[in-house]
Homo-oligomer: A and B are copies of this chain.
Amino acid sequence: MPRAIVKGFGLNRSKSIRYGARMPGSKRPTLADVAASAGVSVALASLVLRDAPGPSAASRERVLVAAGELGYRPDTRARLLRSSRTRLLGVVFGVQHEFHGDLVGGLYTAAEQRGYELALSGVTPGRVESRAVRGLLDDRCEALILLGPHAATSALVELAASLPVVVVARAVRHQEIDVVRTADDDGARQAVDHLIGLGHRRIAHVDGGLAPGAADRRRGYREAMTAYGLEPAVVAGGLTEQDGATAATALLADPPTAVTVFNDRCAAGVLGVLQRAGVGVPEAMSVVGYDDSRFASMPHVDLTTVAQDVERLTTLAVERAIDRLDGTSVDTREQVVAPHLVVRGTTAPPT
């Protein structure tokens, strides 16, 4: 992450006036102020500042100069209140969720490119999803993008009755809900393909249980193994390091030569146990994770893993939301994005 050098915040007042905590009477300039200063009407000023067609080059110039001098910034609330459209996309995300952070980053750029703004609403241990959604609704977002929502399908459907809802990173089978997600079965398949290519035959899968995506990953694993004429072996796991540790312990009773794990966190647990048990990775056992989290790319972990295509996921999500708003007819309700394998140091041919 490059450390951006920020010179200023572009407040751009004619001269930076310093005043104490609350100097009263120094309100921000309004459109009326700008218009007055430029010697035109508010309406004209409004047109110029939105650069709508109409105003002459001369007026345009004068208004722009006046606005610049006053350090004018339009009031979002007033603007949105008046115009029927808000061009606001609400995003619900888990504040502690690393992958959601990545997705939010992608959403910002995708939205900006299409001329929309994002309104963020975080889910925290003390702030449930429904609360986050409600805040967005009150802000008059035009559509909602939900990252890995916990809500029941029925609740999502109810919500989708009020405004377009795009669910990202969770499979929801319902007519009303747009979904953008990763082809998790394909990801699992790629992991198996890779291991087979290295010469492995005894490949186990540590399962994610009920977690979103787990069913697909499990299925992808099963199908791939079967396609190769091999016997699938699924071990109960979960989404935490602890789950991985438990699974690895079970695995050690009759160790395979390779294992695909539900996600990186779980894989971390697996790696920990293997290390303590003296099972060398990748010499004695190959391990493949899922998510390409920061953990996976750490030098001393160097975990082979399946990466989701953040840019594509977020672009599709934003586009779908906007398509719905525009009334563009849409063929597929569910858009599935292919992941790709990132080969690192935890996989090698069996010895």
Please report A residues at the B interface, Cβ cutoff 8 Å.
1-11, 16-19, 21-22, 73-78, 80-81, 94-98, 101-102, 104-105, 108-109, 112, 117, 120-130, 133-135, 137-140, 150-152, 154-155, 157-159, 161-162, 164, 176, 241-242, 245, 265, 268-269, 271-273, 275-276, 295, 298-301, 324-325, 327
Chain B nearest CB from A314 CB (Å) reads 11
Query: Complex formed: what's the CA distance from A101 to B124 in Å?
Result: 9
A241 to chain B: closest residue by CB: B298
Name A80's contact: one of B77, B137, B241 (CB within 8 Å): B77
Chain B residues with CB under 8 A of A19: 161
Chain B nearest CB from A288 CB (Å) reads 17
Chain B nearest CB from A26 CB (Å) reads 9
Name A97's contact: one of B101, B108, B123, B135 (CB within 8 Å): B101
Query: Complex formed: what's the CA distance from A19 to B176 in Å?
Result: 9
Chain B nearest CB from A241 CB (Å) reads 5
User: With A21-B327, A158-B11, A300-B241 in contact, do A120 and B117 touch (Cβ < 8 Å)?
Assistant: no
B300 touches A152 (CB 8 A): no
A124 touches B96 (CB 8 A): no
Chain B residues with CB under 8 A of A123: 4
Chain B residues with CB under 8 A of A73: 134, 137-138
A269 to chain B: closest residue by CB: B299
12 A-B pairs whose Cβ atoms sit less than 8 Å apart in the complex: A6-B150, A9-B155, A11-B158, A16-B158, A16-B161, A18-B157, A76-B77, A76-B139, A96-B98, A105-B124, A109-B127, A272-B299
Chain B residues with CB under 8 A of A117: 135
Chain B residues with CB under 8 A of A133: 9
Query: Complex formed: what's the CA distance from A296 to B318 in Å?
Result: 35
A125 touches B2 (CB 8 A): yes
Query: Complex formed: what's the CA distance from A108 to B126 in Å?
Result: 8
A-B contacts besides A9-B151, A95-B101, A95-B105, 7 pairs, CB < 8 Å: A8-B130, A21-B324, A22-B324, A73-B137, A77-B139, A105-B125, A241-B300
A245 to chain B: closest residue by CB: B299
Chain B residues with CB under 8 A of A162: 11
B271 touches A300 (CB 8 A): yes
B269 touches A298 (CB 8 A): yes
A122 touches B135 (CB 8 A): no
A176 to chain B: closest residue by CB: B18
Query: Complex formed: what's the CA distance from A73 to B78 in Å?
Result: 18
Query: Complex formed: what's the CA distance from A215 to B204 in Å?
Result: 48
A1 touches B155 (CB 8 A): no
Chain B nearest CB from A81 CB (Å) reads 5
Query: Complex formed: what's the CA distance from A137 to B324 in Å?
Result: 30
A93 to chain B: closest residue by CB: B95
Chain B residues with CB under 8 A of A164: 21
The winner among A81, A112, A273 for most chain B CB atoms within 10 A is: A81
A77 to chain B: closest residue by CB: B77
Chain B nearest CB from A149 CB (Å) reads 8
Chain B residues with CB under 8 A of A102: 95-96
